[in-house]
Structure 1
């Protein structure tokens, strides 16, 4: 489809702006700042491939990359919010879907330009992706971010650890129950006196990785499987209901009954399972790429995400999330134009699939464009790594939706409630009651 007159004009304006910026001041270069959260395959691809190639194709532009730890004393999200709130910050960055609503309301996000990506309109741009996939990054009929990845959870496990404990492989065609995973984890635990050498299961929250995203994702998966979609029902706090108590009970049982999980033992999200310190972990398609950074010969298998009752389809619930690339609305016009051009270069224009194939193969990032999902590259990746099929099946077999509360006050209250269970040995009922009190204060 040929671009409309307004789109052609916008494209010409962008090109002129870039040209002028690149030539301004003779040899001076236009610098765009790019921020990402720390994830080794992402940084490696940007530093070794995409940035050098982009700069070679655009000699008037220089890309400066900054990578910041996702969780810790100063987390990526808090540093990003602080920088943008000051009126500065990067020109382009990646971030989780939980930030888009707040960042949009604060005027931080420049709409992604369809013309820079070869589309004639915002609607054609949106329609290039799977139906509903763009919900979190779409406002007023425009994309305010563009996919880095779109994902859900399945269960990775170390096959050497399973074999050493005499545990048969998990079924690939049907999830097992949380109770069964707890029982397996009991057998996987290795302890010599007070020294623990291995635990069975790794939740996404522990002493040196206090990420509200993973607290919420793991908890919401359980709560939804027990029958409640959110911590709020009809706009009111609902933290003392049976589904919430039951979700806390799974976390409590994994910590104390099965001794499957120990938040003080784990030390590295990506290394603990590959190195045999833990047997299993829930993660997305990106996990093997980073896990193999710590152990190249990591042998693993993947099973469908566990459920409360494998024989009850009503318990087949899961969560979804995405990371998206965004452009700073407060950056000067030349930098904004260069940022749009950079994103089109690394993510691909209309009909291009090589970029999405690269991210899928090297980082496990699934970008849900129709063109890529119909491409030979995608089919080839599935043939090479059949376990990826579980993510296709998950979107068909589970009810999947984003988490409503992670990086907000309700999410912070949830973190504290889970900590009371795993660190203070609070009962599920007491944790639910304390969470209800906090949510009620927030609502008041």
Structure 2
């Protein structure tokens, strides 16, 4: 099964977690066998998902003798179809205790009445305050719907700009600074664009973005223009606003000026960035998990350039407790385990196998720079939400699969030059008005 590029839920722990070193926690199970067992549903996108969730389950069992964790792999072409398949499974009588979700799932599991909010646990568990103090407030807010906390995020990604340091050096350019603007960015990207054979079509472009994903595609630009694709309640689409038009228009002009090619799948972005024919692109931490094991280290990161404002877009992953759970207290212990020191340090990874997400615990994230691999500016990952009060949760409508398809389809028409920016966004708005609802 094809895995989507954005690895928000990939737990990079299978090779690094050591059950023998895990500190046992109090599970608080009952007397019968069922009270000491859990069932965890996860998106079965491939072998990595199976191995990583298996390692997490075995670690929890080792930390809690007598507890068993059964894993339920659930198929899905993307996050949206996975969520729908879990809901169908529950309706058919299956009773998972927890399920893996990404930020896109927070609205879905809430609006479909699938989850047990953890507010009471956060208020009454003696461990909860220390856990919350160690996690950036925005990461908790991003998984809160109508004041109900859906889950603790155990890992996340925000959007930064990757740049090829060899390409910058060859062009005689200094590394970009954190205070660069859209004008600075365009000038830099133009200086990095090369038409070496003079045929009018560059062989090297200054920048590109993903065609198959919204998160590392247009979202950072929309946020930095002061907009979003939905309202704060994620009930109404807002793609026909001046802010979204400004962001999409800016990207479209990069194509028209031949500073950027038409957007391409993220896998192609990775290839062209490594061979130097793309100088910059946007993503979270996950490219490091591809670049470093392949021996490519000529890169660093910087914050997105400031438009009307500076904002960072983020998405996370976690294991909410489901209302179908027969053991919610034990499920809460499992959820806490996902933000334990050992698990969080495993998400950081090693120099040979760096993780592809950012740990939610600040203390663990602070060690990313110590694993001895690029990017040099790795502290920017957590600093982008700690030092800037500008966190924008990735819009997560209930009907996410349909939402994603409509946005990407209309953007493709715009960036291919088949429709104008405002016309394309107006069409997109019309389609989304029947998809993005809270009724």
TM-score with structure 2 setting the length: 0.72
Flag the 1:417–1:194 CA change in 2: closer, same or farther, 3 A.
same
Q: Shift of residue 238 of structure 1?
A: 5.5
Equivalent position SS for 1:15? coil
Q: Which residue of 2 aligns with 1:204?
A: 210
Equivalent position SS for 1:301? strand
- Which of 350, 368, 373 is equivalent to 1:381? 368
Flag the 1:80–1:98 CA change in 2: closer, same or farther, 3 A.
closer
Flag the 1:321–1:37 CA change in 2: closer, same or farther, 3 A.
farther
Flag the 1:31–1:357 CA change in 2: closer, same or farther, 3 A.
closer
- Which of 52, 75, 79 is equivalent to 2:78? 75
Aligned length, in residue pairs: 396
Q: Shift of residue 194 of structure 1?
A: 11
Equivalent position SS for 2:104? helix
Is the Cα contact below 8 Å between 2:228 and 2:238 reproduced in 1?
no
Equivalent position SS for 2:425? helix
Is the Cα contact below 8 Å between 1:274 and 1:292 reproduced in 2?
no
Structure 2: distance between partners of 1:131 and 1:97: 15
- Which of 1, 4, 16 is equivalent to 2:30? 16
Structure 2: distance between partners of 1:265 and 1:440: 27
Unaligned stretches of 5+ residues in structure 1: 1-10, 24-29, 309-313
Structure 2: distance between partners of 1:338 and 1:190: 62
Flag the 1:150–1:258 CA change in 2: closer, same or farther, 3 A.
same
Q: Which residue of 2 aligns with 1:32?
A: 39
1:59-104 Cα shifts (integer Å, max 9, x gaps)? 65254374867xxxx2133123223234248543332223212211
Larger strand proportion, structure 1 or 2? 1
Structure 2: distance between partners of 1:398 and 1:14: 38
1:384-441 Cα shifts (integer Å, max 9, x gaps)? 5641222344233473322336627665543333121123532223223323444566
Structure 2: distance between partners of 1:425 and 1:317: 30
Q: Which residue of 2 aligns with 1:435?
A: 428
Q: What's the C-alpha RMSD, in Å, of the aligned pairs?
A: 4.3
Equivalent position SS for 2:348? helix
Flag the 1:200–1:90 CA change in 2: closer, same or farther, 3 A.
farther
Flag the 1:175–1:237 CA change in 2: closer, same or farther, 3 A.
same
Equivalent position SS for 1:260? coil
Q: Structure 1 residue 219 and structure 2 residue 237: aligned?
A: no
Structure 2: distance between partners of 1:103 and 1:265: 29
Q: Structure 1 residue 426 and structure 2 residue 419: aligned?
A: yes
Q: Which residue of 2 aligns with 1:26?
A: none
Larger helix proportion, structure 1 or 2? 1
Q: Structure 1 residue 390 and structure 2 residue 380: aligned?
A: yes
Is the Cα contact below 8 Å between 2:102 and 2:316 reproduced in 1?
yes
Q: Shift of residue 154 of structure 1?
A: 1.0
Q: Shift of residue 236 of structure 1?
A: 7.4
